[in-house]
Amino acid sequence: MDSLKKVMLEFLSYLEKERGFSNHTIKAYQTDLNRFISFLTQEENISNFKSVNIHTIRNYLGTEFDEGFSSKTVARRLASIKSLFKYLMRSEQISDNPAIHVKSPKISQTLPNFIDEKVIDTLMESPDVSTSKGMRDRAILELFYSTGIRLSELIALDIDSIDPQNQLAKVHGKGDKERLIPFGNRAKFWVENYLKNRALSFNSAPNHTPLFTNAKEKRVPKSTVQRRIRNYIKLVAEGERLGPHILRHSFATHLMDRGADIRAVKDLLGHNSLSSTQVYTHIKPEKMKKIYKQAHPHGD
């Protein structure tokens, strides 16, 4: 194994064992760094990270733009490189960090799609609850919108992840960070009914029984949830990105529109930084005028 790959694998092992990063995140780092290493060996004839300088990294980013990658993708690739070089400095494998001098490309921030509050009820009523699948889908839709959790977090829920008494869901997010998310009465009602349909309850189910399952009582696949939720959303909304993530966006947007504190929304979503949550602060002009009139001394 060549030196660059060996160092990369040591870095990935550090992210997993020392930093507790998820497999998904580690795979993303590996994909990004493999591309960088290929560039170093094939284009620059470099076999050691000590030989990398600021120009090497800039040249690499330039080739990524030339190949048609977006600013967002290139910025993520650079973030992976910066993390690697930070690790190399910390483990004293290099004495100078060229990556800190490279500025990240500007990303045009697109607002996330969300479903208008007026059609949320129509969306929730889309599944045919006279069928087992429809009952499950209704429970999924209600819990998704009530909690704003990620698709991967929803699929990973077990029945004992739900505390029906206090109406809290225990969620394992990115980096296996645990958080408790409250949910409303509607979500509780439909999840309870879905469990009854499976001849189960919160009290009777064995530990680690998956909350949402397919017909074989196996944990429902990600692709199934994506496909079915997309089909329901298409009934009430138009656009390209109409997957389950739009319910997370709607959850955050509706909370912010109704005056929720951005820090509270950040914690509910499981974001590491406020900058990730700020994309939801697109308050409608009429709402802004109302807040202004209520709050400003000369607002009348």
The CATH number assigned to the domain holding 65 equals: 1.10.150.130
| Separation of alpha carbons 246 and 226, rounded Å | 11
Q: Average pLDDT for residues 189-194, to the nearest whole number? A: 96
> Given the structure tokens 């696949």, which residue do they identify?
221
Of residues 125 and 175, which shows the higher confidence score?
125
> Given the structure tokens 């921030």, which residue do they identify?
109
Q: Given a cut of 80, is residue 2 above it in pLDDT?
A: no
Shared-domain flag, residues 122 and 216: yes
Q: Average pLDDT for residues 69-90, to the nearest whole number? A: 91
pTM, two decimals, is: 0.60
Sequence-distant (6+) residues with CB within 8 A of 132 are 197, 215
Q: Given a cut of 80, is residue 173 above it in pLDDT?
A: no
- pLDDT for the residue 71: 82
Q: Given a cut of 70, is residue 147 above it in pLDDT?
A: yes
Shared-domain flag, residues 62 and 153: no
| Separation of alpha carbons 148 and 269, rounded Å | 6
Shared-domain flag, residues 173 and 92: no
Q: Given a cut of 80, is residue 180 above it in pLDDT?
A: yes
Of residues 207 and 197, which shows the higher confidence score?
197
- Please indicate, yes or no, if residue 177 is contained in any of the structural domains: yes
Q: How many domains does the chain have?
A: 2
| Separation of alpha carbons 139 and 236, rounded Å | 18
- pLDDT for the residue 107: 66
| Separation of alpha carbons 144 and 122, rounded Å | 15
Shared-domain flag, residues 81 and 200: no
- pLDDT for the residue 286: 55
Shared-domain flag, residues 53 and 144: no
- pLDDT for the residue 248: 85
Shared-domain flag, residues 242 and 132: yes
Q: Given a cut of 70, is residue 192 above it in pLDDT?
A: yes
Give catalytic residue positions: 150, 174, 245, 248, 271, 280
- Which of 2-6, 141-145, 218-222, 271-275 is the least confident region? 271-275
Shared-domain flag, residues 177 and 40: no
Domain end (from 67, 101, 135): 101
Q: Average pLDDT for residues 20-35, to the nearest whole number? A: 90
Q: Average pLDDT for residues 184-202, to the nearest whole number? A: 93
CA 192 to chain CA centroid, nearest Å: 26
At residue 1 the predicted structure's pLDDT band, cuts being 50, 70 and 90, is: very low
Q: How many helices (H) and strands (E) would you count in the chain?
A: 13, 3
> Given the structure tokens 């470099």, which residue do they identify?
46
